Amino acid sequence: MDRQFDEELNVLKKDILKMAALVDEAISRAIKSLVERSDELALAVEEDDEQMDMLEIEIEKQCLELLARRQPIANDLRFVTSVMKINSDLERMGDLAANIAHKTRILIKYPLLKPLIDIPKMAETVRSMLKDSISALIENNSELARKIVERDTKVDGLYVQVFREVLTFMMQDSGNIKSGIELIMIAKHLERMADHITNIDEDIVYMVDAKTIKHDFEK
């Protein structure tokens, strides 16, 4: 049966996917600006955060309207409430990408502490997690979503590695502290992004299977 309501749900789905695509691009460009030490690109990433902020508000508005006007239940209800939560997580990720760009603009005023290896690797993992999460969302694939959650530990591991390494540089020379802290913060932001993706995948599992897997509540 063709329904206007399904059409509205489709628009919502398209918008949340667009939001995810914008976030992915923001992460990619933020890390590129860091690697290429481009103040211009970093500034652009910072400024583009507004697009995601506006889209977040738009998606939230759509969800509230659907709740008020359609009173969705069962799978429709789970979809709308999950989108509301995914929306917030994506927006926070967008903020973190903008923050990375901001820190990059400070960092590039100082000489390079060390060649960037682990941070781009973290960003690559985060982006692959995000891309797969988008696929899981498109295909209602909860099995995939569950697998993505497991990759969070890889990002956590990389963060610890960056932290220790940068700490060593800072201990060797206190002149490295300023840029060292910025680097650690960037790595921390990426680590947080993976946490947000974990939330998103938990929401996808709830949306598809009606199972609450966060905090090991249900399998």
Partner 1 sequence: MSEVTIANRITVKDFNAYYGEKHALKNINIDIPANKIMAMIGPSGCGKSTFLRSINRMNDLIENFKTDGKMMIDGKDVYDKNIDVTNLRRRVGMVFQKPNPFPKTIFENIAYGLRVNRLFKDKKELEEKIEKSLMEAGVWDEVKDDLDKSAFELSGGQQQRLCIARALVIKPEVILMDEPTASLDPISTAKIEELIQVLKKDYTIVIVTHNMQQAARVADKTAFFMLGEIIEYDETVKMFTKPGNKMTEDYITGRFG
Please say whether the beta carbons of 81 and 13 come within 8 A.
no
Structural contact between residues 62 and 12, judged by C-beta atoms closer than 8 angstroms: yes
- The least CB distance from residue 3 to partner 1, in Å, is 7
Rounded to a whole number of angstroms, the minimum distance from the CB of residue 5 to partner 1 is 7
Of residues 52 through 71, those in contact with partner 1 by CB under 8 A are: 71
Contact 140, 208 (CB under 8 A): yes
Residue 77 interacting with partner 1 (CB under 8 A): yes
Does 72 engage in binding with partner 1 (CB under 8 A)? Answer: yes
210: left (phi over 0), alpha (psi -120 to 50) or beta: left
Among 7, 57, 65, 75, binds partner 1 (CB under 8 A): 75
Place of tokens 């939560």: 85
Amino acid letter for position 112 = L
Q: Is 63:1 a contact under the CB 8 Å cutoff?
A: no
**Is 110 one of the binding residues for partner 1 (CB under 8 A)?**
no
Closer of 4 and 174 to partner 1 (Cβ): 4
Site for partner 1, residues 21 to 50, rule: CB under 8 A:
none
Which three-class secondary structure state does DSSP give residue 38? coil
Tell me which of 117, 171, 177, 210 binds partner 1, using CB under 8 A.
Answer: 210
Among 40, 68, 74, 172, binds partner 1 (CB under 8 A): 74
State how far the Cα of 28 lies from the Cα of 152, in Å rounded to an integer.
18
Kindly tell me which residue out of 78, 121, 188, 214 binds partner 1, with binding defined by CB under 8 A.
Answer: 78
Give the interface with partner 1 as residue ranges (CB under 8 A). 1, 3, 5, 71-78, 210
